[in-house]
Structure 1
Amino acid sequence: MPKLTLDDLNLLNKRVLMRTDFNVPLSSAGQVEDDHRIRAAIPSIDKVLEDGGSLILMSHLGRPDGKVEAKLSLKPVAELLSKILSREVKFADDCVGKESLALSSSLKAGELLLLENLRFHKEETENGSEFAQALAVHGDIYVNDAFGTAHRKHASTYGVPEIMDSAVAGYLMDSEVKYMSSIVDNPRIPMVVVLGGAKVSDKIPVIKNLSKLADAFLIGGGMAFTFLKAMGHPIGKSLVDENLVESCKEILRELSKKGINYHLPTDCVAVSSIDSPELGDVCFIDELGDDKMGVDIGPMTVAEFDHVLEGAKTVIWNGPMGIFEVPHWSNGTVSVGKKLVELTKTGTTTVVGGGDTASAMKQMNLSNDVSHISTGGGASLELLSGNALPGLEMLQEKE
């Protein structure tokens, strides 16, 4: 069922408590390095302020594990947000307690406050009921605009909306869910799914769910080596999840039974160690020595993936093809990114999952050249896996 959104409520003179996803990278000097997630929340922020509400924003940043870490303070985010909005953004040194409540209670219509990092309290990730209650008293209305954390059952995403009378979706949450759901519910075919990254465990549910829709799977990145081992190929010292080799073998059998094409690397860039980045040698997978590990897909694999992608009407990409942060090992990821841009220009729907894949596209300056880049890596994976999002489930449904 569709969820209520900001458009369904009267916000005049209401205190609106909004969960945003300001989990952005900070430089060693404490400056925001990528403001994409901050800017993604602006439409919802503007709506509340323009409609005469006051706004209390809350977010996490990094993984401080319930302890205060000055380098993970949201203060730099408040400063940048103030510049973007050209208005004052008040900042509370804590997200709960008397001082922060005094600040949120004194806000006038059109004013906004950013609370300090939610994860400075361990009760946030534990979905502590008292902590959720302490957050809930900041507002009259709850808005979740943090698609990137919608798959988490945390206090700010689950406990707070459970308590509050009004709990609705922000514009970003609404658009992300609608877009990702439309891709799964009504895809343009043929559909090709490109999967990479290190963790094969995250992608197995995606393959199982999307095998109902996809015409082909292209598998690269570190996760490919668990599949390659399942097929009996040598993998040297490459990343492998021994616990999932049998699961990968079964998945490949199922794909073959359904007549779904799957493509794994036939060559790779091999190095002795990832600790001292070297140029590496291109070799066939079957020639990968015991003392070597794969860190990127090779040129033959790039050409094969390009060929398969050529006829696609929908492409979903989640996970880089190698350790793209090292320039020598980024060719596979760069090639897939450029191919998606090329396909987008000819009318193919191209969807990029969040997290590392979104970072790679940003690094290549290609973020605006595909159909959609999700703001949520884990959340988009959950949706693509056919799973419910706890943060979304807690919001009120349209009648």
Structure 2
Amino acid sequence: MFNTLDDLEPGQRLLVRLDLNAPVEGGTVQDNRRFARHAATLEELLDADHAIAVLAHQGRPGGDTFVSLEQHADILADHLGQDVAFVPDTYGEEALEAITALEAGDVLVLENVRMCDDELPEADPEEKASTEFVSTLAPSFDAYVNDAYSAAHRAHASLVGFPLVMDAYAGRVMETEYTANSAIQERSFDGPVTMVLGGTKAEDLIPVIERVDDTVDRFCLGGIVGELFLRAAGHDVGYDVDGTAFFDHQWADHQETIESVLAAYGDRLHLAADLAYADDDGERAELPVEEISKETSFLDIGTDSAAAYADLVRESDAVFVKGALGVFEDERFADGTVDVLRAVAETDCFSVVGGGDTSRAIPIYGLDEADFSHVSVAGGAYVAALTGDTLVAIDVLSES
């Protein structure tokens, strides 16, 4: 498959690609699960007397979250319990001087790779390997480690260029994420396999249903994708009200596919029987879908639906979760997501919870991450793994 840290000789100068992309609130970068996961990889490398320079990205050019990585270095330092240096340069003279000065046990964060013209857009790995960015930086290191699984579906220079010109290894996050998330394609299970699909991006999830039909026995739908399938089933939901912009454009773009998937997999698609909303007093209220005339936003699946989904989970040999079933950040509308996650945690099954947003519900509501086989920090890469799509950064690591 690919080389891992088990194959890496100690005491080297390493270029390590992490995914530290994080929320930014009021100009302040927020700590999240990715920092802790990647810090564990760095700790293992430091224990092996490596000197480390970190490549990472934050936001996209022109976006509100497109900021420097200086704060990321401070957050990493907190997780590692040691100083982490930062240089406001990626492969210029200042960066190269800082890299040359690295000694065993040092960690240096280079500036946001997306501030380099060569990083974006996506292109063939061979083209990215020949960029000035890669050709300038690579000679300063003994080896390259890619731990950025959540970005592994992107053909950006820092992800696919270096493995073609230097020894390359998968970090622990890359290794464990790939192994767990590809299980649906590579493992066989003795009992029923259940997939829980929710969140806001129906267009990402519809192909999942079609691509894993040989492996998954039943799908439990909630969130935006759930409402769109309820609309296809003839219920008065699945369109925008109150100024929202979640449903109508996705319905216009994917109506035919949604209707054809419902017709083809109807007996395996479990749709919500009731939905929850905020009443005039701001309290949680619920209605059976047969009685709904949509005049307000629905923010969770109902109690009966959550119980039915939880029952399906409890009789499963494997459960894969992608996306929340409601607005779990609001405690009033967390029941669907939390009840299903709690059922997964209590069931002796192979389980993967995917997507950074959904996984946040685990600590928020007092669940134990250890009760799940794997909690993924990936979004797009997790969807790609579920459908069996190529992850280009994995491919180049394997070639290396």
Do the two structures share a fold, i.e. TM-score over 0.5? yes
What is aligned with 2:352?
Answer: 351
Instruction: Supply the distance in 1 between the matched residues of 2:218 and 2:386 (Cα, whole angstroms).
Output: 15
Deviations 1:130-185 (A, max 9, x none): 334344344231111111111111111122323x2212211221121122223432
Instruction: Supply the distance in 2 between the matched residues of 1:138 and 1:296 (Cα, whole angstroms).
Output: 52
Q: With the length of structure 1 as denominator, give the TM-score of the two structures.
A: 0.88
Instruction: Supply the distance in 1 between the matched residues of 2:157 and 2:64 (Cα, whole angstroms).
Output: 16
Instruction: Supply the distance in 1 between the matched residues of 2:313 and 2:364 (Cα, whole angstroms).
Output: 22
- Are the equivalent residues in 2 in contact too, given 1:255–1:262 (CA < 8 A)? yes
Deviations 1:44-74 (A, max 9, x none): 32343333331111111233448995xx332
Instruction: Supply the distance in 2 between the matched residues of 1:50 and 1:271 (Cα, whole angstroms).
Output: 52
Amino acid at match of 1:227: F
Q: With the length of structure 2 as denominator, give the TM-score of the two structures.
A: 0.88
> Mapping of 1:192-271 within 5 angstroms?
192-235=194-237, 237-238=239-240, 239-240=246-247, 241-242=250-251, 243-256=253-266, 261-270=268-277
2:160 aligns with one of 158, 161, 172: 158
What is aligned with 1:7?
Answer: 6
Deviations 1:287-317 (A, max 9, x none): 2224223221111211221222221111111
What is aligned with 1:306?
Answer: 310
Paired residue secondary structure (1:10) = coil
What count of residue pairs does the alignment treat as equivalent? 383
Instruction: Supply the distance in 2 between the matched residues of 1:68 and 1:370 (Cα, whole angstroms).
Output: 31
Instruction: Supply the distance in 2 between the matched residues of 1:68 and 1:332 (Cα, whole angstroms).
Output: 30
1:341 has 2:345 as partner: yes
- Return the offset for 1:397: 4.8
1:118–1:362: structure 2 CA closer, same or farther, 3 Å change rule?
farther
- Are the equivalent residues in 1 in contact too, given 2:54–2:107 (CA < 8 A)? yes
Amino acid at match of 2:198: G
Paired residue secondary structure (1:168) = strand
- Return the offset for 1:392: 0.7
- Are the equivalent residues in 2 in contact too, given 1:17–1:139 (CA < 8 A)? yes
Q: Which segment is superposed worse, 80-89 or 351-360? A: 80-89
Paired residue secondary structure (2:104) = coil
- Return the offset for 1:120: 2.9
Instruction: Supply the distance in 2 between the matched residues of 1:134 and 1:279 (Cα, whole angstroms).
Output: 59
- Are the equivalent residues in 2 in contact too, given 1:65–1:120 (CA < 8 A)? no
Structure 1, unpaired ranges of 5+: none
- Across the aligned residues of Structure 1 and Structure 2, the Cα RMSD in angstroms comes to 2.5
> Mapping of 1:290-329 within 5 angstroms?
290-329=294-333
> Mapping of 1:1-399 within 5 angstroms?
2-12=1-11, 14-28=12-26, 30=28, 32-34=30-32, 36-65=33-62, 72-121=67-116, 123-127=118-122, 129-162=131-164, 164-188=165-189, 189-235=191-237, 237-238=239-240, 239-240=246-247, 241-242=250-251, 243-256=253-266, 261-270=268-277, 278-343=282-347, 347-366=348-367, 367-397=369-399
Structure 2, unpaired ranges of 5+: 123-127, 241-245
Deviations 1:214-263 (A, max 9, x none): 1111011111122112222211644422221210121122224xxx5220
1:169–1:248: structure 2 CA closer, same or farther, 3 Å change rule?
same
Deviations 1:8-50 (A, max 9, x none): 23243x321010111233554736432x212212343234333
Instruction: Supply the distance in 1 between the matched residues of 2:50 and 2:373 (Cα, whole angstroms).
Output: 33
